[in-house]
C-alpha cells in the first residue's frame, strides 16, 4: 500500500473547494508518456497552477501501470527542481471501469480516482460508486463519479448517444454515493470529432463548423440542486483548427474535427465546474508538431529531434489553457 501523501501528491478536496469559491477550474490533463508529463509539469510550474495528472485505462495498458505511478512520483520532484517549492499535483485515475481497477490505483498511490458507472443502470452506478467511495475514503483518496452519458467514440470510452445529466437525480446520487465530485453531461464529448457535421452550423466567414452550444441550463439546474458541489466536465478539448490544419498540410487526414469553443469552457470554469478534462488537444499539438518537423527535416531520425518541438508545443498549449481558459494560474496555496 503506497501512501500518496508520502510521495508528495495531494487529493482534490481543498483544491476543488478553492476553485469553486474562486470561479476557476483545475486542469486535468491526460498523460501516457514522458514528454506529455514534462510539458504538463513545466506548464503548471511556470503558471503556478495546481494540476491533475490523469491516467486512463488505455494509458496504463500502453505505458505500464507501475511506470506511470513512478512517473507521477518523479513529477513531484521534477516540479520542485523547476522551482516550485510546494507543488499541488493530483494523480488521478480517469474513467475507472470497476471497483478492482479503482482499488488497484488507490493501493498504488493514486490520490484521486474516477469510477465511471455512467453507462450502468442508475442503482448499479450508485452501488459500485458507493463501494469505491467507502474504500477510497479510508485512505483519504477523493472520488469522482459520473451521471449522464457523453457521446463520442474514443478507444476506451465510447457511447453512441449522449444523455444529459438529469438535475432531479443529482442530490440522491451525490448523497447516496458520498462522491467528492460529479462529472456531468451537458453536451461535451470525447475525442477530436465531438459533433457530426449535421449537428453544426457553418461560419459563413471561415467555412468552419460551429458546434451547438453546451447545455448551460442543465449546469445551472445541477448547481441549484447541489450548491457549491464540485462539478467536472469531461470531453473538453477545443480541437484548435490551426493544429488540424498543420496536421492536414503535412500528410494528415483529419476531416471535420471539431471541439468545444474555449469561451464556453471559460464560462463553465467560472461556475461550480472545477475540473476540466483535456486530452485530445494534447494529442493534436503533439501530432501537428511531429508531422511538421518530419516534413521539414526528412533526414532526421533521432526521436529527440522531433519530440522536443512536440513537447514545446504541448507546453504552450497547456499554458494557454491554464491562463486563458481555466484561470488556474497563480492559484497554489503556497509559493
Ligand atoms: O476520456 C478519455 C481520455 O481521452 C483517455 O483516452 O482511453 O484513449 O487513453 P484513452
Ligand atoms: P477530450 O477528448 O475532449 O480531450 O476529453 C478528455 C477527457 O474527458 C478525459 O477523461
Ligand atoms: Zn473523459
Q: What is the mean pLDDT of residues 125-141?
A: 98
Measured from the CB, is residue 321 less than 6 Å from ligand 1?
no
Q: How confident is the model at residue 158 (pLDDT cuts 50, 70, 90)?
A: low
Asked if pLDDT for residue 102 goes beyond 60, the answer is yes
Do the beta carbons of residue 16 and residue 317 sit within 8 Å? Answer: no
Give the pLDDT of residue 334.
84
Predicted TM-score of the model (pTM): 0.96
By DSSP bridging, strand 152-153 and strand 201-202 are unpaired
pLDDT in tens, 236-246: 999 999 999 99
Cell numbers 512536440: residue: 310
Q: What is the mean pLDDT of residues 54-71?
A: 97
Q: What is the mean pLDDT of residues 305-324?
A: 98
CB atoms within 10 A of CB 199: 13
Q: Percent of the chain, pLDDT > 70?
A: 96
Give the pLDDT of residue 159.
56
Give the pLDDT of residue 71.
98
Q: Which of 202, 320, 326, 206 is nearest to 264 (CA)?
A: 326
Average pLDDT, the chain: 96
Supply the DSSP symbol for 193.
B
Q: How confident is the model at residue 151 (pLDDT cuts 50, 70, 90)?
A: confident
Tell how far the Cα of 28 is from the centroid of ligand 1, in angstroms. 12
Give the pLDDT of residue 160.
55
Do the beta carbons of residue 145 and residue 176 sit within 8 Å? Answer: no
Q: Which of 10, 52, 5 is nearest to 28 (CA)?
A: 52
Query: Which of 60-69, 79-88, 150-159, 285-294 has the lowest average pLDDT?
Result: 150-159
Q: Percent of the chain, pLDDT > 90?
A: 93
Q: Ligand 1, atom 8: nearest CA belongs to which residue?
A: 155
Q: What is the mean pLDDT of residues 16-20?
A: 98
The dihedral sign for the CA sequence 119, 122, 124, 129? positive
CA atoms within 13 A on the CB side of 173: 29
Ligand (nearest to CA of 188)? 2
Measured from the CB, is residue 293 less than 6 Å from ligand 1?
no
Do the beta carbons of residue 93 and residue 80 sit within 8 Å? Answer: no
Distance CA 250, CA 256 (A): 17
Measured from the CB, is residue 129 less than 6 Å from ligand 2?
no
Annotated active-site residue 172? The verdict is no
Q: What is the mean pLDDT of residues 162-191?
A: 96
Asked if pLDDT for residue 153 goes beyond 80, the answer is no
Q: How confident is the model at residue 161 (pLDDT cuts 50, 70, 90)?
A: low
CB atoms within 10 A of CB 269: 25
Q: What is the mean pLDDT of residues 40-56?
A: 98
Measured from the CB, is residue 280 less than 6 Å from ligand 2?
yes
Query: Which residues, in sequence order, are bridge partners of residue 28?
Result: 52, 277
Q: Which of 21, 38, 17, 20 is nearest to 29 (CA)?
A: 38
Pocket perturbation via mutation, ligand 1, pick of 29, 30, 65, 281 by most ligand atoms within 8 A of CB: 30
Give the pLDDT of residue 154.
44
Q: What is the mean pLDDT of residues 36-55?
A: 98
- Of 94, 97, 116, 180, which residue is the catalytic one? 94
Q: Please, what is the end-to-end C-alpha distance for the chain in angstroms?
A: 30
**Closest ligand 2 atom, residue 281 Cα:** 4
Q: How confident is the model at residue 155 (pLDDT cuts 50, 70, 90)?
A: very low
Distance CA 107, CA 109 (A): 6
Query: Which of 156-165, 185-194, 272-281 has the lowest average pLDDT?
Result: 156-165
Where b means 16+ CB within 10 Å and e means fewer, 92-130 reads bbbbbbebebbbbbbebbbbbbbbbbbeeeeeebbebbb
Measured from the CB, is residue 60 less than 6 Å from ligand 1?
no
Q: Ligand 1, atom 10: nearest CA belongs to which residue?
A: 58
Q: Where are the beta strands (DSSP E) in the chain?
A: 26-30, 51-56, 89-96, 112-115, 142-147, 152-153, 158-159, 181-184, 201-202, 209-210, 231-233, 273-278
Query: Which of 26-30, 204-208, 222-226 has the lowest average pLDDT?
Result: 204-208
Amino acid at each position: 500500500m503506497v501512501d500518496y501523501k508520502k510521495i508528495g501528491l495531494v487529493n482534490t478536496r481543498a483544491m476543488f473547494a478553492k476553485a469553486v469559491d474562486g470561479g476557476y477550474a483545475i486542469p486535468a490533463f491526460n498523460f501516457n508518456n514522458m514528454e506529455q508529463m514534462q510539458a504538463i509539469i513545466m506548464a503548471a510550474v511556470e503558471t503556478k497552477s495546481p494540476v491533475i495528472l490523469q491516467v486512463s485505462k488505455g494509458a496504463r495498458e500502453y505505458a505500464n501501470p507501475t511506470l506511470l505511478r513512478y512517473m507521477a512520483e518523479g513529477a513531484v520532484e521534477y516540479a520542485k527542481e523547476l522551482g516550485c517549492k510546494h507543488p499541488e499535483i493530483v494523480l488521478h485515475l480517469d474513467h475507472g471501469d470497476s471497483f478492482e481497477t479503482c482499488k488497484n490505483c488507490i493501493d498504488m498511490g493514486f490520490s484521486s480516482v474516477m469510477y465511471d458507472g455512467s453507462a450502468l443502470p442508475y442503482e448499479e452506478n450508485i452501488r459500485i460508486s458507493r463501494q469505491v467511495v467507502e474504500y477510497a475514503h479510508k485512505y483519504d483518496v477523493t472520488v469522482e463519479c459520473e451521471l449522464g452519458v457523453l457521446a463520442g467514440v474514443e478507444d476506451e470510452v465510447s457511447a453512441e448517444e449522449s444523455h444529459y445529466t438529469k438535475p432531479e437525480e443529482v442530490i440522491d446520487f451525490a448523497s447516496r454515493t458520498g462522491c467528492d465530485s460529479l462529472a456531468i453531461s451537458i453536451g461535451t464529448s470525447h475525442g477530436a470529432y465531438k459533433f457530426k457535421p449535421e449537428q453544426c452550423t457553418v461560419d459563413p466567414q471561415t467555412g468552419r463548423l460551429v458546434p451547438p452550444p453546451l447545455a448551460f441550463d442543465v449546469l445551472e439546474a445541477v448547481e441549484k440542486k447541489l450548491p457549491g458541489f464540485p462539478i467536472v466536465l469531461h470531453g473538453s478539448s477545443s480541437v484548435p483548427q490551426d493544429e488540424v490544419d498543420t496536421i492536414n498540410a503535412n500528410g494528415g487526414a483529419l476531416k471535420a474535427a471539431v471541439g468545444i469553443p474555449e469561451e464556453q469552457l471559460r464560462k463553465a470554469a467560472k461556475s461550480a465546474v472545477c475540473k476540466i478534462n483535456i486530452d485530445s488537444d494534447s494529442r493534436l499539438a503533439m501530432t501537428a508538431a511531429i508531422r511538421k518537423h518530419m516534413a521539414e527535416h526528412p533526414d532526421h531520425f533521432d526521436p529527440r529531434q522531433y519530440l522536443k518541438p512536440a513537447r514545446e508545443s504541448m507546453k504552450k498549449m497547456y499554458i494557454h489553457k491554464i491562463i486563458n481558459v481555466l484561470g488556474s494560474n497563480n492559484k497554489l496555496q503556497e509559493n
